[in-house]
Structure 1
Amino acid sequence: MKLLNKITLWFIGIVFLVTPITMIISRNNIKKHLDQAEIARMTAVNDRVAQQLLAGEKPDRYTHGRPIEITAISGPLPAEKISVKKDNYVAEDLGEKECRITVDSWYQVGTQAYKISSYNYVIKSEEIFRGMLSTVVWKMLLMIFAVSVTARLLSGKIFSPLRRTMKAIHRFDLKQKDKLQLPETSTTEFKELNVFLRKMTDKAMEDYAAVKEFSENASHELQTPLAVIRSKIELLSETNIDSIQAALIGDMQNAIEKLSHINRSLILLTKLENQEFKVSESLKFCRVVKDVIATYEDWITMREIKLSSNLDKNIPLNIHPALAEMLISNLLSNAIRHNRDGGQIKMELTHHHLSISNTGIPPQIPTCELFQRFKKSNQSNDSIGLGLAIVKQICEVNGYDVEYNYTDGWHNIEVYFFKRAVISGDAMSASTAVAV
C-alpha cells in the first residue's frame, strides 16, 4: 500500500474514532447547559412570585396561564430552600417519553411560609442525540472526502521529491561512473534522506571499483605464476624420474589445474554478482543445449553412460550466451562426474523448465548447503564445490528458480525459467543433492 493511502486511512480511522466520542461529550454538555438554563429561569420565576407576595400584591396576573403553583405551608422552612426534581414519563396522548423539570422554592412572607413550584418540559437526551446524528454523519462524510482529495492534491507537491528520488535510485547503476543525482527539496526529512543516499551510493561505487580492480588484478597476477609453475612441471616430467616422482608431479599438475579452475570460477562469480553480463537479445536455448551435449559426447561415451533427451524446439530466452553455456555445462558435467559407469542421464527441455537427472550414490548433506560455495557431498578431489554456486548465481541473475533433489537413486536438477509463486517448503528442506 502506498504511503499516501496509509496516511489517509489513518486520518479516516482517527475521524471515526474521535467523532462518536466528541458527539457523546457534546450531547451531555448541551443537555446539561439546557437544564441549567431552564432551572435558573424557573428559579427566577419563583423569586418573582415571592417578591409579589412579599409586597402584598396578588400574583394572579403573573401566574395566570403559567405552570406555577403557590402553596401555603405550616412549620419551619427546610434547610435547602430550592429543590430540583427531574421526572421522565410517557405522555399518554403523545405516546412518547417526556422529561419534566420541577423547581420548588420555599419563602417566608411575614408569618406565613409558602412553597412555590414551577415546572417545564425540556428536550430529552435522545432528541438531542438524534438531532446531532445526521449532522455528525454528514460531517464525517465531508471530512473523509476533504481528507482524501486534499491528501492527493498535496501529495503532488509534498511527495514529488520522494518520487523523483526513487526514480533516480532505480536508474542508478554501480557500473557507471556517474554519481547519483537527486532532486532538490525544502523538506527536512527528504534532505536528510538525500544526504544519506548520496553518501551510501558514493561509498558503494568506491567499494565496487576497489573490489573489481582487486578481482581483475588477482585474476591477472595469479595466471602468470600458475602458467610458470605448469611449464616448469612439464619440463620436470620430461627428465629422468622414477615412478614415485612421476606420481608426485601428477598430483602437482592436478592441484595446479584445480587452483586455476577455482580462480576462474571465483572471478566468474564476482562478475555475476556485479551483473556484468548484459542481455541485448534473446537466444535459442535449445540450440545451446545441443551444442553442450555434443561437447560432452566423448566423456559420456568413455563412461558408458546412456543419455536420453527430450528437447522442445524454438525456446527463446533472454540470457547472455556465455551464461547459458555455463549453466548447461555445469549441470551436465555434474551429472556425468557424479554418475556411475554405465549409468543413465535424462534431459528434458520445455518452454517452462530444464530438467537434468542422473543415477548416482545418495548425497550426504542437504541441498541448502550444496548451493553454497565450496560445499561438496563426497569431498572428491575432482570437484571444487563451486559448480552449483555458479548455477545458483546464474539463475538469480536471470530470475530463474532452481531445485535439486534425490529420489529413488536419481539426482534431479530442475531450472524453472519463470519465478513460481509458491515453492513447497517441505520439498526444499527434504531435498538433497551433489555439488560440482
Structure 2
Amino acid sequence: MNLLNKISLWFIAIVLLVTPVSMYISYNSTKKRLDDVEIERLKSVNQHVTYQLRVGEAPEKKTQGLPISVTLLKGNTLPSKNPEVIHTCLKNNGFSLNECKIRINTYMALDQKVYRISSYTYVTATEEIIGGMLNALFFKMILITALVLITARILSKFILKPFHHAIDGLQQFSIQKKERLQLIPTSTKEFKKLNEFLQNMTDKALEDYASVKEFSENASHEVQTPLAVIQSKIELLAETDINGTQAALLNDIQNSIDKLSRINRSLMLLTKLNNHEFSTHQKVKFCTVEKETLFTYSDHLALKSITLNRQCEKGVYVKIHPALTEILLSNLLSNAIRHNLEEGRIEVNLTRHFYQISNTGQEPDVPTQELFKRFKKSNQSQDSIGLGLSIVKQICEVNEFPVYYDFSKGWHTITVYFDKDHHHQPFVPEQNPETLDSAFENVEQIMNSPV
C-alpha cells in the first residue's frame, strides 16, 4: 500500500471516530436549541395572557397560534416552581410518534386568587432528529471518502511528482553507465533536501566506483607485468645448464608464479562481479555449455582415473551471462576434480530447476558453507588458491541463484538452484561403480549425445 493510500485511510478512520462524537454534540445542541426556542415562545405567550388578565381583558383561546387555557386554582399560594416546564413525548392516544409535547404553566396571583395559565406546542421527536442526522452523516461520509481518494490521486500526480521521479531515477541508476542521476527541480523543502542528498550520494558512488575500478585495473596490470618478466627469465634460466636441485627450485618458483597469476585473475573477476559488470537479459543453453566444459576437462578426469556419471535434461535454458556460465561450470568441475580421490567418482545432475555436482573426497575440516568465503581452504588440496568457490558464490548471488554445499558419507555435493522458490534436499549418488564406464569414455559419450 502506498503512502497516500495509508494517509487517506488514516484520515477516513479519524473522520469515522470523530463524527459520532460531533454528531452527539450536535444533536444535543440542536435539540436543546429547538426546545429553548419553543419554551421562550410559550413563556412569551403566557406573559401576554398574564398581562391581559391583569388589565381586565378576556384572553383568547389561541395566542400566536398556540392554544391557551386559564384555570383557577384552589388556595392562594403560588407554587415554588414558576413557570413550570413539562416535556412529554407522546406514545399513544393517536398522536404522531415523531413529536414531543412541551407545556408551560405560568402561575399568577390576582385578587387573592391563583390562576394557572397554560400553553403548549409540539416539537420534533428525538428519533426524527437522529434519523435526519444519520442520513446526512451517510451522504457526508460518501462525499468525504470520494473527495479524499480523488485528492490523493491529485497529490500523487502533482505534489509528489518529484518524489516518484527520484524513485524511478534510483531504480534505473547504474554506476556502470557513468551517468549522473537526473532529478527534476521542486519547490517543496523536504523534496529539495531529498534530491540534494540523492544527488550527492550517487555522485560520490560514481567517483568511488571509478576510483576503485581504475585502481584494480592498474594493480592487475602492474602485477601481470613483473610476473611476465619473471616467467620469461625462468624460461631462459631453464634452458641453461642447471643441476637437479636448481631445476626443483625453478619448478617451485614457476608453480608460485602460476598460483599468483590465478589469484590476480580471480580477484579481478570478483571485483567485476561485485560491480555487476555482467548484467544480462538473455538466456543461455546451459546444457550445451555444461557438456562443452566436461569435454574441456576430459584429460584431467582421465589423468586421475575419475569415473564420471551424468544425468542431464535436454533443452535447459538459464538466464545468466554466457561468460559467467563458463566460469561457474569450470570452477565447479575443476573443484570436483582437484579435491577428488584417485580413481574417485563424480556425479552430475542437471534439470530445469537446478545443477548439482557431487564428488568423492576427504571429509572437510571446516563447515562446508564456510568454504564459500575467500581464501578459505580445507585439508583436501594444497594447490587450491581458495577463491574458486568464492567466485561460484558471487556468480550465484549476482544472478540470485541459491547455492548449497553438503557433505555426507564421503560425498561432496554443490547444488545451484535456478529459482528462488526451491526446496533444498542434499543429494547422495548411488555407490555402485560397476555400472559406470571409464572417465574418458564417458565424456566421449556425452559429447556425442544430443542436448
TM-score, normalised by the number of residues in structure 1: 0.84
Quick check: 296-305 or 313-322, which moved more? Answer: 313-322
Q: How much does 1:97 deviate?
A: 7.4
Structure 1: 5+ residue stretches without partners? 429-436
Match of 2:148 in 1: 147
Partner of 2:293: 292
Q: Which residue number in structure 2 is paired with residue 57 of structure 1? A: 57
Q: 1:26 aligns to what?
A: 26
Q: Distance in 2 between matches of 1:32 and 1:369?
A: 80
Question: Deviations 1:229-248 (Å, cap 9, x if unpaired)?
Answer: 556677788876786x8877
Q: Quickly say closer, same or farther: Cα 1:71–1:216, change in 2 above 3 A.
A: farther
Q: Report the residue type matching 1:144 in the other structure.
A: T
Provide the rounded CA distance (Å) in 2 between the counterparts of 1:242 and 1:115.
Answer: 143
Change (3 A) 1:28 1:363: farther
Does 2:36 correspond to 1:36? yes
Q: Which moved more, 1:369-378 or 1:330-339?
A: 369-378
Determine if contact 1:68/1:119 at 8 Å carries over to the other structure: no
The Cα of 1:228 is off from its aligned counterpart by 4.8
Q: What residue in structure 1 maps to residue 441 of structure 2?
A: none
| Contact kept? 2:66, 2:120, Cα under 8 Å | no
Instruction: Map residues 256-335 of structure 1 onto 2, 5 A cutoff.
Output: 256-279=257-280, 282-335=283-336
Determine the C-alpha separation between the residues in 1 that align with 2:234 and 2:89: 114
Partner of 1:431: none
Cα distance change on mapping 1:87 and 1:225 into 2, 3 Å: same
Aligned to 1:120: 121
TM-score, scaled relative to structure 2: 0.81
Using the alignment, how far apart are the partners of 1:73 and 1:43 within structure 2? 23
Contact map agreement 2:356 2:416 (CA 8 A) in 1: yes
- Which has the higher mean CA deviation after the structures are superposed, 75-84 or 256-265? 75-84
Q: Which amino acid aligns with 2:2?
A: K
Q: 1:278 deviation in Å? A: 4.6
Q: 1:335 corresponds to which letter in structure 2?
A: A
1:254 and 1:413 map into 2 onto residues whose CA distance is 28
Q: Which residue number in structure 2 is paired with residue 2 of structure 1?
A: 2
- Measure, in 1, the Cα distance between the counterparts of 2:69 and 2:281: 100
Which amino acid letter does the alignment assign opposite residue 36 of structure 2? Q
- 1:366–1:53 CA distance, 2 compared to 1 (3 A): farther
Secondary structure, counterpart of 2:264 in structure 1: helix
Structure 1 pair 218/69, CA: closer, same or farther in 2 (3 Å)? farther
CA distance in 2, matches of 1:157, 1:186: 12
Report the Cα distance in structure 1 between the residues aligned to 2:383 and 2:345, rounded to whole angstroms. 20
Q: For residues 195-274 of structure 1, what are the structure 2 equivalents within 5 Å?
A: 195-228=196-229, 254-274=255-275
Indicate conservation of the 8 Å contact 2:293/2:330, yes or no. yes
Instruction: Please tell me whether the aligned partners of residues 66 and 119 of structure 2 are also in contact (alpha carbons under 8 angstroms).
Output: no
Do the aligned partners of 1:374 and 1:386 also contact (CA within 8 Å) in 2? Answer: yes
C-alpha RMSD of the superposition = 3.3
Aligned length, in residue pairs: 424
Give the partner amino acid of 1:306: T
The alpha-carbon deviation at position 249 of structure 1 amounts to: 6.6
Alignment CA distance shift 1:409-1:93 (3 Å): farther
What is the CA deviation profile of residues 83-123 of structure 1, one whole-angstrom value per residue up to 9, with x for unaligned ones? 33433452243584753333333333353333434333322
Look up the SS of the partner of 1:66 in the other structure: strand
Measure the CA separation in 1 of the matches of 2:69 and 2:393. 97
In 2, the alpha carbon distance for the partners of 1:387 and 1:71 equals: 117
Once structures 1 and 2 are overlaid, which stretch shifts more, 102-111 or 305-314? 102-111
Match of 1:183 in 2: 184
Compared CA separation, residues 123 and 271, structure 1 to 2 (3 A): same
Q: Which amino acid aligns with 1:23?
A: M
Kept in 1, the 8 Å contact 2:8–2:149? The answer is yes
Post-superposition offset of 1:324: 0.9
Q: State the alpha-carbon separation in 1 of the partners of residues 210 and 278 from structure 2.
A: 17
Mapping of residues 373-392 of structure 1, within 5 Å: 373-378=374-379, 381-392=382-393
Q: How much does 1:325 deviate?
A: 0.9
CA 1:48–1:380: 2 relative to 1, 3 Å: farther
- 1:197 CA displacement: 1.6
Contact 2:42 2:120 in 1 (8 A): yes
Contact preservation (8 Å) 1:70, 1:116: yes
Question: What one-letter code is carried by the residue in structure 1 that aligns with 2:360?
Answer: T
- What is the percentage of aligned positions where both structures have the same residue? 51
Question: CA distance change for structure 1 residues 218 and 58 in 2, over 3 Å: closer, same or farther?
Answer: same
Conserved? CA contact 1:91–1:97, under 8 Å: no
Alignment of 1:406-421 (within 5 A): 406-420=407-421
